[in-house]
Amino acid sequence: MSRTSGSETEASRSDEEDVVLECRDLSVSFEMDRGSSYVVNDVDIDIRRGEILGIVGESGSGKSMFASALLNAVVDPGRTDGSVTYYPREGDPVDVLELDKGPLRSLRWADISMVFQGAMSSFNPTMAFREHFVETLEAHDYDVAEGMERAEELLADLYLDPERVLDSYPHELSGGMQQRALIALSLVLEPEVLVMDEPTAALDLLMQRSIVSLLSDLREKYDLTMVFITHDLPLVTKLADRIGVLYAFEFAEVGDTAEMVSEPRHPYTRALLNAVPNLDAPLSEMQPISGSAPDPVDIPAGCPYHGRCPMATDECRETKPRMEPVSETHEVACHHWPDVDDYVSLATEGDR
């Protein structure tokens, strides 16, 4: 997860951690009248094959742009710099940001697929779902008959009636059914990685929990790697193996989910947890995060969180912290993380 040299990266790949996506110095920027707006800022992270990585943060923290950058799908006039390297099970590594349009189009469905927020906007309302599946299969030269068998299996795995769904138009299904159909469509070409950008944001609480449970089952059955992007911290703790916390367009903390919930070391992660409504704690203990995130055109020097942080010192205001290990499964970018317990307590020790 921290920045490494080429030789160190190769060595780490021979470890037990099998990396499927490797981001180095990943940035997304937009030119504005006021200057360059950075919405992803020099991000380094490794995504491990077979894991579910949850990405959380406040609105405007860079979550969706990070998701788009993984597939080199940032729209103009956005600019994506750095590298995203995909390591397939077989064959040579692929630099996603250097692919031409044809190979990139193939990779986006066949190797790395994405589910966007709001299924309704992802479907053509004049086409039945069957047509969406057939069109996708034909566009990638897949055997349609074989692909439709897989589509039916995926829909059934998502507790949908394949015959009913395939013969329906988008407006004939509920939001939850549409979202599950979109997940099935995203998996019909058998990708290895599924990136999901706020896939449950428009759904009710019961349907959110249902889809999270289904995703866990799909991961096991189809040997998937998932990147699940959300603002809903309690939701992602039920699904993810690891959690990455984005603040001001870069990672503040990344670690094993259980450790991130029970022993977060960054004051921002603790502030997020303290701001989450919890049935185990009275409302008086809920603590909204004071202040606001930095302007993407004017990211401050030093630690980007220093203006909202009760631990901030001159070192924080002047020197940007680097990721450093808390444990073998946990990293944090904070100069004073060993002392966080003295400054930012957790609102409740109950089950989050």
The pLDDT tens digits for 153-179 are 999 999 999 999 999 999 999 988 999
What does 223-255 look like in DSSP terms, one character per residue?
Answer: T-EEEEE-S-HHHHHTT-SEEEEEETTEEEEEE
Say whether both 86 and 20 belong to one domain.
yes
Last residue of a domain, one of 247, 281, 311: 247
CB 170 within 8 A of CB 129: yes
Say whether both 101 and 165 belong to one domain.
yes
Q: Is the preceding omega at residue 77 within 30 degrees of 0, hence cis?
A: yes
Say whether both 151 and 18 belong to one domain.
yes
Last residue of a domain, one of 177, 212, 247: 247
Say whether both 240 and 299 belong to one domain.
no
Query: pLDDT class for 215, splitting at 50, 70, 90?
Result: very high
Say whether both 30 and 147 belong to one domain.
yes
- DSSP bridge partners of 40: 28
Say whether both 231 and 284 belong to one domain.
no
Q: Helix or strand or coil: residue 350?
A: coil
86-120 exposure pattern, b = at least 16 Cβ within 10 A, e = fewer:
bbeeeeeebebbebeeeebeebbbebbbbbbbebe
pLDDT tens-digit map of 108-147: 989 999 998 766 778 999 999 999 999 999 999 999 999 9
Q: Helix or strand or coil: residue 348?
A: coil
pLDDT tens-digit map of 251-290: 999 999 999 999 999 999 999 988 876 545 555 656 777 7
Give the residue with greater pLDDT, 105 vs 3.
Answer: 105
What does 150-196 look like in DSSP terms, one character per residue?
Answer: HHHHHHHHTT--HHHHHTS-GGGS-HHHHHHHHHHHHHTT--SEEEE
- 51, part of any domain: yes
Say whether both 180 and 316 belong to one domain.
no
**Kind plus residue range of the DSSP H or E element containing 102:** helix 101-110
Q: In this predicted structure, what is the pLDDT of residue 206?
A: 81
Say whether both 174 and 316 belong to one domain.
no
CA distance from start to end of the chain? 26
- DSSP bridge partners of 101: none
Identify how many contiguous H helices and E strands the chain contains and give both numbers. Answer: 13, 12
- 233, part of any domain: yes
Mean pLDDT of 295-301: 85
Give the residue with greater pLDDT, 174 vs 200.
Answer: 174
Say whether both 190 and 326 belong to one domain.
no
Q: In this predicted structure, what is the pLDDT of residue 352?
A: 44
Q: In this predicted structure, what is the pLDDT of residue 11?
A: 40
**Structural domains of the chain, count:** 2
Per-residue pLDDT at 193 exceeds 80: yes
Last residue of a domain, one of 247, 282, 298: 247
Per-residue pLDDT at 300 exceeds 90: no
Say whether both 72 and 196 belong to one domain.
yes
- 352, part of any domain: no
- 281, part of any domain: yes
- 351, part of any domain: no
pLDDT tens-digit map of 2-52: 433 343 444 444 344 699 999 999 999 999 888 889 899 999 999 999 999
CB 231 within 8 A of CB 223: no
Say whether both 143 and 204 belong to one domain.
yes
Task: Tally Cβ neighbours within 10 Å of residue 190.
Answer: 15
Say whether both 19 and 58 belong to one domain.
yes
Q: By residue range, what is the domain housing residue 278?
A: 267-343
